[in-house]
Structure 1
Amino acid sequence: MDVERYGPWALVVGGSEGVGAAFARKLAASGFKLVLVARKPGPLEEVAQDLRGKGAEVRTLSVDMGKADAIDRVRTVTDDVEVGLLVYNAGANAMRGNFVELDPAVYRTVIGVNVIGQSEFARHYGGLMRQRERGGIILTGSLSGYIGSASLAAYCGAKAFSRVFSEALWAECEQFGVDVLHLNLGLTATPAMERLGYDLSAASTPDQVAQEGLDNVANGPVWIAGGQANIDRAQASASAQPRAAAVRAVAAPPRK
């Protein structure tokens, strides 16, 4: 990863575990200085201490990305440095249920993290990159954004927004020398997926996904991680007809 083009600082949102932590480790090994942001302070500081022990300069901040003040809080630790790479990796969803029956706090958090958060972080840090005429933005998404699934209405909709938003942002930023990539994840063996009880025997590893993102930051607007099988799945989901049968087929049972 080119520090001259995308550095000297990288901001990794959701950097305490899984794919975010993998990004952090790989960027530190390439000589980046890091700002790591996540909700849980304990795991966040464990990653930071490990990287500091290897010589990296790391700042951390515990922030709930679903809150309206997230961007303002993160700016307190980035306004005095030059962030040349934004990796926005927050956005997991642990709650399933019929949308009309959910506590509003559930879907507001999903939309806050995946839609409002991505938009505000991309605008702020992308605007600074535009002034410098260099930099990169990686926004992570999901194959869930290619088709709606019962019990995951807000999540699927938010991930679809992220993908289409990234495509438009890529087209706008290309003229300014700023790379934008929507890194679309399939099933990945992250701690979050383990906690939800998924069978991860055939899943990609966080290291594999993070490396694909870094290798393809200049190959936007969309990169589907995990190989041809995930590409085929995305294409099939997006083009399936009739839609009614396709949407019913991917319905997931509620998780409460």
Structure 2
Amino acid sequence: MADLQKYGPWALVIGGSEGVGAAFARLLAADGFKLVLVARKPEPLETLAAELRELGAEVRVLSADLSQPAVLSQVRAVTDDIEVGLLVYNAGANNTRGLFVELPEEVTQSVIAINVLGQANFARHYGALMAARGRGGIILGGSLSSYLGSPTLAAYTGSKAFSRIFSESLWAEMAPLGVDVLHLNIGFTATPAMARLGMPVELAEPPETVAREGLENIANGPVWIVSTPGNIERARLISTVDNRAQTVRTHAIAPRDKTAEAARAQQKLAGESSK
């Protein structure tokens, strides 16, 4: 799946303790990669690391707060002596909704720090090392929300828009240097984070599908939209340049208690488009 010669020997998975990040780690371990897993919660990290070590993988873990300015230095402390050929930046879930001017500053600053500064700083550091070697890969986690602003999610949707445009630019810059860049654009995915928020994850895409599509398409950048039914159709629908006011009002991300209804509507849209 992932080319160990081009993207190995070590893969660094940011947000790599559960959900899509854990799925990436399992698939990469099966392909023979050595792994560095970084996430905030130590318990899931250690549990996953133990699982992967039992399968024969070499694994390093680091519990770190990805919203803090010193996080790159912390990660470098466990990677400067190894060759990281693949960066998977999977962190960036949002668990707080509210009006931007009313939310606590630390909440919105955390979202921006993880999705904007984190992606940029990690891509700069590890991307430079990959470019010097003339090989490597970077997968930056994205979202369908990057195509449309939504009320109560201003910082989140804005930061995801940065991620997508940043990925496209970085892809164009790094391709001549032998480094693949992919913005992995996901929709509704059945992660533990979504389950904790009470979302109807039985209607969502399994994390394993998302991670597999990312690894299978790392060389098919700059953007890959995960093939969940309705994802591509929704991206096209909300990308129109005409009458953005109406588009934002009509297609904004649904409140959590309307998520199941929105997921079914997206699946219906996919079915109608395939006819």
Identify whether the pair has TM-score above 0.5, normalized to the shorter chain: yes
Partner of 2:260: none
- How far residue 235 of structure 1 moved from its aligned partner, in angstroms, is 1.2
- What is the CA–CA distance in structure 2 between the aligned matches of 1:125 and 1:190, rounded to whole Å? 27
Partner of 1:34: 35
Check whether the contact 2:139–2:182 (CA below 8 A) recurs between aligned residues.
yes
- How far residue 197 of structure 1 moved from its aligned partner, in angstroms, is 1.5
Whichever residue aligns with residue 152 of structure 1, its letter is L
Partner of 1:18: 19
Whichever residue aligns with residue 108 of structure 2, its letter is Y
Check whether the contact 1:150–1:252 (CA below 8 A) recurs between aligned residues.
no
The answer to whether structure 1 residue 232 and structure 2 residue 229 are counterparts is no
- How far residue 16 of structure 1 moved from its aligned partner, in angstroms, is 0.3
Check whether the contact 2:145–2:253 (CA below 8 A) recurs between aligned residues.
no
Check whether the contact 1:185–1:209 (CA below 8 A) recurs between aligned residues.
yes
- How far residue 226 of structure 1 moved from its aligned partner, in angstroms, is 2.5
- What is the CA–CA distance in structure 2 between the aligned matches of 1:212 and 1:165, rounded to whole Å? 20
Distance 1:251 1:19, change over 3 A: closer
Partner of 1:127: 128
CA deviation string 1:109-148 (max 9, x = no partner): 0000000000000000000000000000000110011100
Whichever residue aligns with residue 87 of structure 1, its letter is V
- How far residue 228 of structure 1 moved from its aligned partner, in angstroms, is 5.5
Q: Any gaps of 5 or more consecutive residues in structure 1?
A: none
- What is the CA–CA distance in structure 2 between the aligned matches of 1:157 and 1:26, rounded to whole Å? 30
Partner of 1:95: 96
CA deviation string 1:224-253 (max 9, x = no partner): 013462011111111164211221221544
Q: Any idea what SS the aligned residue of 2:96 has?
A: coil
- What is the CA–CA distance in structure 1 between the aligned matches of 2:253 and 2:167, rounded to whole Å? 26
- How far residue 199 of structure 1 moved from its aligned partner, in angstroms, is 1.7
The answer to whether structure 1 residue 74 and structure 2 residue 75 are counterparts is yes
Partner of 1:57: 58
- What is the CA–CA distance in structure 2 between the aligned matches of 1:195 and 1:167, rounded to whole Å? 32
Aligned-residue CA RMSD in angstroms? 1.3
- How far residue 211 of structure 1 moved from its aligned partner, in angstroms, is 0.2
- What is the CA–CA distance in structure 2 between the aligned matches of 1:135 and 1:184, rounded to whole Å? 20
Runs of 4+ aligned structure 1 residues displaced above 6 Å come to none
Larger RCO: Structure 1 or Structure 2 (Cα < 8 Å, ≥ 6 residues apart)? 1
Distance 1:241 1:200, change over 3 A: farther
- What is the CA–CA distance in structure 1 between the aligned matches of 2:108 and 2:18, rounded to whole Å? 23
Whichever residue aligns with residue 65 of structure 1, its letter is L
- What is the CA–CA distance in structure 1 between the aligned matches of 2:248 and 2:201, rounded to whole Å? 23
Partner of 1:141: 142
- Identity among equivalent positions (%) equals 63
Check whether the contact 1:134–1:177 (CA below 8 A) recurs between aligned residues.
yes
- What is the CA–CA distance in structure 2 between the aligned matches of 1:239 and 1:44, rounded to whole Å? 41
Check whether the contact 2:199–2:256 (CA below 8 A) recurs between aligned residues.
no
Q: Any idea what SS the aligned residue of 1:78 has?
A: coil
What TM-score, normalized to structure 1?
0.97
- What is the CA–CA distance in structure 2 between the aligned matches of 1:198 and 1:241, rounded to whole Å? 32
- What is the CA–CA distance in structure 2 between the aligned matches of 1:43 and 1:251, rounded to whole Å? 29
- What is the CA–CA distance in structure 2 between the aligned matches of 1:165 and 1:155, rounded to whole Å? 15
- How far residue 38 of structure 1 moved from its aligned partner, in angstroms, is 0.2
- How far residue 196 of structure 1 moved from its aligned partner, in angstroms, is 1.2
Check whether the contact 2:145–2:157 (CA below 8 A) recurs between aligned residues.
yes
Worse-superposed segment, 27-36 or 225-234: 225-234
Q: Any idea what SS the aligned residue of 1:87 has?
A: strand
- What is the CA–CA distance in structure 1 between the aligned matches of 2:98 and 2:256, rounded to whole Å? 4
Q: Any idea what SS the aligned residue of 2:205 has?
A: coil
The answer to whether structure 1 residue 223 and structure 2 residue 224 are counterparts is yes
Q: Any gaps of 5 or more consecutive residues in structure 2?
A: 258-275
- What is the CA–CA distance in structure 1 between the aligned matches of 2:253 and 2:218, rounded to whole Å? 32
- What is the CA–CA distance in structure 2 between the aligned matches of 1:35 and 1:254, rounded to whole Å? 33
Whichever residue aligns with residue 220 of structure 1, its letter is G
- How far residue 201 of structure 1 moved from its aligned partner, in angstroms, is 2.7
Whichever residue aligns with residue 86 of structure 1, its letter is L
User: How many residues are paired up?
Assistant: 255
